[in-house]
Amino acid sequence: MLKPGIPSPVRGLASIGAILALWMAISGCTSAAFFIASPVPPEKLPEYTLELELRGEPAYDPDGYEVVLGFDLRANGEFAYNAIVQEIVQETVYRREDGKQLRETLALVEAFELARVGIDNDSKVRYRLKPFQRDRHYERGYSALGSTIHGAEVFRVVRYYPAFVRDADWSALGFAHLPGNREGTIRTDIPKNFNERHQRGYIIEGAILQDDRARSHWYSMRYSWKREDGMPTADFAFRRDARPPDESAWLSRVLDKGMREAGAGE
């Protein structure tokens, strides 16, 4: 039944206008709402920049260190890859009082899901980590080293790049451990107490179907611990966009040639 006072032709035009407005609103969002990430070759990606964000200053003391990071990707159009992949390679060298050295190594390939957050003032499509997610590098417990250990040097080097990841066991915040990189040169090999909480709740699975590893970025950190007059002291250095200038021969071999050639896990 028509409401009194509103002629039927006018009501019909109003309905058509509402439908057109709704269609225009939907069509205006089509590029974002209906864009599906896919493993396209890297040369098919739009031009983009990937920036590392340091969230607060690194913290350290004689017991360990903590660095919190984020990522900001801006592209000239919708971006086809769904994650930032990180390849973490670490070597820790302990110096004993008798002059001998003990060495521990680890490697981890991990991924963070990207979330589209909008378009910036320069018409770039912007992507960041999911809300409340962060990349936290954290180690504690060095102050409890036995009295026979007089020093420790921790070298952690990280290569990161965008990629398309499938079938990973993602956390609610979009984080996952992967078995290895796409080339097979870096394989996850970590102790049970490394990212222990995540390892208890998730399995290492998934595959990188495509990536832009050729345009990798780097950062590195070095934690130096030593005992002086019976008291532990520490120093820490964080390098953005750089590998350590004094990295060990083992690290150099792993980073340049891969784990098989370097004999990782010795």
E strands, the chain, in order: 48-54, 59-61, 64-75, 83-96, 101-119, 125-129, 135-140, 149-166, 175-178, 207-211, 217-228, 231-240
Instruction: Return the higher-pLDDT residue of 31 and 240.
Output: 240
Give CA angle at 41 (39, 47), nearest 5°.
Answer: 105
- Check whether 105 has a pLDDT greater than 60: yes
* Amino acid 58: pLDDT: 96
* pLDDT given at position 20: 36
- Please report which confidence band the pLDDT of residue 49 belongs to, taking 50, 70 and 90 as the band edges: very high
pLDDT, averaged across the chain: 87
228: tokens are: 């002086």
72 has which bridge partners? Answer: 51, 128
Q: Model confidence over 206-255: pLDDT tens digits?
A: 999 999 999 999 999 999 999 988 899 999 999 998 888 888 899 999 99
Is 99 or 6 the better-scoring residue by pLDDT?
99
pLDDT for 14 equals 41
Among positive and negative, which fits the CA dihedral 183, 186, 192, 197? negative
CB atoms within 10 A of CB 219: 21
Q: How confident is the model at residue 50 (pLDDT cuts 50, 70, 90)?
A: very high
Per-residue model confidence as pLDDT tens digits over 128-167: 999 999 999 999 999 999 999 999 999 999 999 999 999 9
Q: How confident is the model at residue 24 (pLDDT cuts 50, 70, 90)?
A: very low
| Contact (CB, 8 A) for 65 and 251 | no
User: Distance between CA atoms of 207 and 8, rounded to whole angstroms?
Assistant: 60
Tell me what percent of the residues of the chain surpass a pLDDT of 90: 78
Euclidean distance between CA atoms 185 and 87, whole angstroms: 10
| Confidence at residue 228, expressed as pLDDT on a 0 to 100 scale | 87
Structural domain boundaries in the chain: 7-36, 40-262
pLDDT at 47 over 90: yes
**Structure confidence at residue 32 (pLDDT):** 56
Distance, CA of 175 to CA of 112 (rounded, Å) = 5
Residue 201: strand, helix, or coil: helix
pLDDT at 1 over 70: no
Binning pLDDT at 50, 70 and 90, where does residue 33 land?
Answer: low
Whether 184 shows a pLDDT value over 50: the answer reads yes
pLDDT at 87 over 60: yes
pLDDT for the residue 41: 97
pTM score, whole prediction? 0.84
Confidence band, pLDDT 50/70/90 cuts, at residue 262 = low
Q: Which residue has the higher pLDDT, 242 or 173?
A: 173
